[in-house]
Structure formats: C-alpha cells, structure tokens
Amino acid sequence: MTTRTAFEKARADGRAALVGYLPAGFPDVAGGIDALRAMVDAGCDVIEIGLPYSDPVMDGPTIQAAAQQALEGGVRTRDVLRTVEAVAATGTPTVVMTYWNPVERYGVERFAADLASAGGAGLITPDLTPDFAPEWIAAADRHDLDKVFLVAPSSTDERIAMTTAACRGFVYATAVMGVTGARTTTSDLAEPLVARTRAATDLPIGVGLGVSTGDQAAELARYADGVIVGSAFVRCLLDHPGDRAAGLRALGALVEDLAAGVRRA
C-alpha cells in the first residue's frame, strides 16, 4: 500500500486529500484506535499515527501533552504497530510519524518488516533527512514502504530536489517555520514552498502545521495536494478528558468540517 493512491484518488475527484494525525496510545491504546477509526469514518483520506517520544523537538505543547499522556500510560512501540494494524485494516493508507531514535532502537530492518506486516504504508520522519537516512531508505525500499521526508520554507532548491528524489508516497511541506500547533492564520510561506517543491517532483505535496478549520483547509487546498491536520484533532480529545463520547463527537465534526473544506477549494 502507498499513500500516493489516496492522493491520486482525491486528485481524480478534483480536490485535495485530508491527512489526519493522532499519536498512538492517546488517550489509551484502545481509545486511540477508536478515535483514528472515527477519523476514517468522518472523511480522512490518509491516517498518520504518531509514535509518542520523550524528546519531540518539532512538536508544540498540544501534541506533546498527548504524547506524554500516552507514554505515561505505558504505550510501547509494539502498541503503535498494533494501532497501525487496526487502522490499516479499514483500507485507509496509514503512515507512522516518528522521531528516529525509537526506530533505530527497535532495529531499522525489523521495524520496516513489522510495519509492512501490520499493513502500514510507511514513515514520516521529522528529524531524519535523506542525507542521513541510507539505512532507512534501503529498508523501506525492500519492504515497499513510503518514505515521507519534509521540506521547509528554509530549504534550498538543491535540498528540495535531493529530498523529493528520496520521497515515496508524498512530500510533507511544513508551512511555517515553527513547531506543530493550530494557528489562526495560515502561513504565507506555504504557497511559494509548494510551488518550489512542485517544480522538483511529480509526487503529491501535503502541507502541514497549523490548520484547524475548514476555511483554512480550503485555502491550502487551492494549491496543495493534501492538507495535514494534527494538533486540532488532538485538541478535540484533550478538551473532553472525562467524556470519550463527547471527544469522539467533536473529532468527527472537525473531520467533517475539514473534509468539506478540501472539497470547496
């Protein structure tokens, strides 16, 4: 399975794809699986499952709080793979977003094999760029896994070319210089970055960091192939700590709003 299929299907429908993120094990492993399935049901085209990590340098306070809660709840790497298996079984392409050390500790080849066995589509690696990723690239290629590397507004054209050449599935464009977290306005850095990236590759380009409303999604969908949302979904669950049903309702409603947004670009 590759995420590219979902992007191409969305493109055939004349719209952008909606990519939804939650960390595994949040609020607990079973609750996380329920939430991710609810996101599939409400209209996410690709699911991104975070592997909670103790030192998430790219995450803002919302995602870090959720990941911390998952770690305190005892989530393990094997639980992340179990979550992938449950979500991928819905037929929705499912990728893992992970900082590098947990993969290295698990064993790069072993992780690739187990992720592929679980039905996972690949990895997004926020602290691993292709020039330091030969082992992962080789393992991913052996198991037909997506390699989603990031491009940033600060990336040179040379680095965008190098990065996109190493990507499989889609390219993750970080729309702002900063960490994850919902923002009231989208970045004016996103569109030029997408244009520069599009000049380097035919792969779909997903734009992430900061989107929390259907209107913002619609704005991004004018020029991006995918809209990536994380913190806003996490917030839905954080805001309803004692009431899972209410959290899931809020999550579903937000997915629907964003799914409508990517369709009215």
Partner 1 sequence: MSTRPENTTSYDADAHGWFGGPEAGWGGRFMPEALIAALDELDEAWREAMADPAFVGEFDTILREYAGLPSPLFLAERLSEQVGCRVLLKREDLNHTGAHKIRNVLGQALLTRRMGKTRVIAETGAGQHGVASATAAAYFGLDCTVYMGAVDTRRQALNVARMHLLGAKVVPVESGSATLKDAINEALRDWVASVDHTAYLFGTAAGPHPFPSLVRDFTRGIGDEARAQCLERFSRLPDAVAACVGGGSNAIGMFTAFLDDADVALYGFEPGGEGVDTPRHAATIHAGQRGVLHGARTYVLQDEDGQTVESHSISAGLDYPGVGPQHAHLAATGRAAYLPVTDDEAMQALAMLARTEGIIAAIESAHAVAGGLRVAERLAAEKGPEATVLINLSGRGDKDMGTVVDYFGLGDPDRVTAEPVGDPS
* Set 59, 114, 146, 219: catalytic member: 59
Rounded CA-CA distance 142/40 in Å is: 28
- In the complex with partner 1, which residue's Cβ is closer, 132 or 144? 132
Q: Closest Cα to residue 175, out of 236, 224, 125?
A: 224
- In the complex with partner 1, which residue's Cβ is closer, 75 or 262? 75
Applying the rule CB under 8 A, the residues between 35 and 54 that interact with partner 1 are: 53-54
End-to-end CA distance of the chain: 27
Annotated active-site residue 202? The verdict is no
β-bridge pairing 171-174 and 146-148: unpaired
- In the complex with partner 1, which residue's Cβ is closer, 153 or 252? 153
Rounded CA-CA distance 188/102 in Å is: 34
Query: Does residue 164 belong to the site contacting partner 1 (CB under 8 A)?
Result: no
Degrees, nearest 5: CA angle 5-8-9: 85
Rounded CA-CA distance 133/163 in Å is: 11
- In the complex with partner 1, which residue's Cβ is closer, 56 or 122? 56
Q: Which stretch binds partner 1 (CB under 8 A): 4-12, 40-48, 64-72, 140-148?
A: 64-72
Annotated active-site residue 48? The verdict is yes
DSSP summary character for residue 151: E
Where does this chain bind partner 1 (CB under 8 A)?
A: 53-58, 60-61, 64, 68, 71, 76-77, 100-106, 126-129, 131-132, 149-156, 159, 163, 174, 177-179
